[in-house]
Amino acid sequence: MGASPAVIRDQAEKLLRAAGIDREPVDLRDVVSALNLSLVHTACEPFSPEASLVPRGDSHAIVLRGAGDERRRRFTIAHEIGHFVLHPGRVAPERGGSVNEAMRIQEREADRFAAELLMPEHLVRKAVHDEGADARRLAERFEVNEQAMSVRLRRLGLAARQSELLPPSRDLL
């Protein structure tokens, strides 16, 4: 079956430690290097995915197709890293191929891994403590898009209590 949220979090944390990352925004070059992966940019082809993980020599490459929003691209790279870490030996579906339930589960796991990698819980909680739970401001700080940060805040149970998590007023200190 699939990897539990706890296993996904642990794998992301382990990778961050191995890459020597302890602050935001996460430098994906350090993560890619720690895994001996490479990034390859190519032109966009019709019906091709935005990115894929492909064997290359003794390791793998993350092939990025076309140009796009840098924050979305960061999430896409982290998603492919998630497949590399969580789903070794995974075969991506061919262009236009069908996607079964097992592949859908792997896609959700890779998304969760990307969130854990780019927005580690301890760093998000610290940022919320420092600045409040404003998804737009935190998205800037973590170099992710606002939607990804909003989802992360909800999953961590921080979005519902936004008013309680605003930064302390300097007037009261």
Q: Which residue segments constitute the domains of the chain, with CATH numbers given?
A: 5-90+98-118 (1.10.10.2910)
What is the pLDDT at residue 48? Answer: 66
Q: pLDDT over 90 for what percent of the chain?
A: 62
Question: Of 11, 136, 121, whose CA–CA distance to 19 is shortest?
Answer: 11
Going through the chain in order, the beta strands assigned E by DSSP cover: 38-42, 51-56, 59-65
What is the pLDDT at residue 66? Answer: 75
To the question of pTM greater than 0.85 for the whole model, the response is no
What is the pLDDT at residue 97? Answer: 53
- What is the Cα–Cα distance from 22 to 168, expressed in whole angstroms? 25
Is the CB of residue 66 less than 8 Å from the CB of residue 49?
A: no
Is the CB of residue 144 less than 8 Å from the CB of residue 71?
A: yes
Q: Give 108's pLDDT tier (boundaries 50, 70, 90).
A: very high
What is the pLDDT at residue 152? Answer: 96
- What is the Cα–Cα distance from 151 to 71, expressed in whole angstroms? 15
Interval 21-56: pLDDT, tens: 999 999 999 999 999 999 888 777 766 677 888 888
Give the up-direction half-sphere exposure of residue 161: CA atoms within 13 A in the CB hemisphere. Answer: 10
Phi and psi torsions of 62, nearest 5° = -95, 115
Assigned token pair, 110 = 């890779």
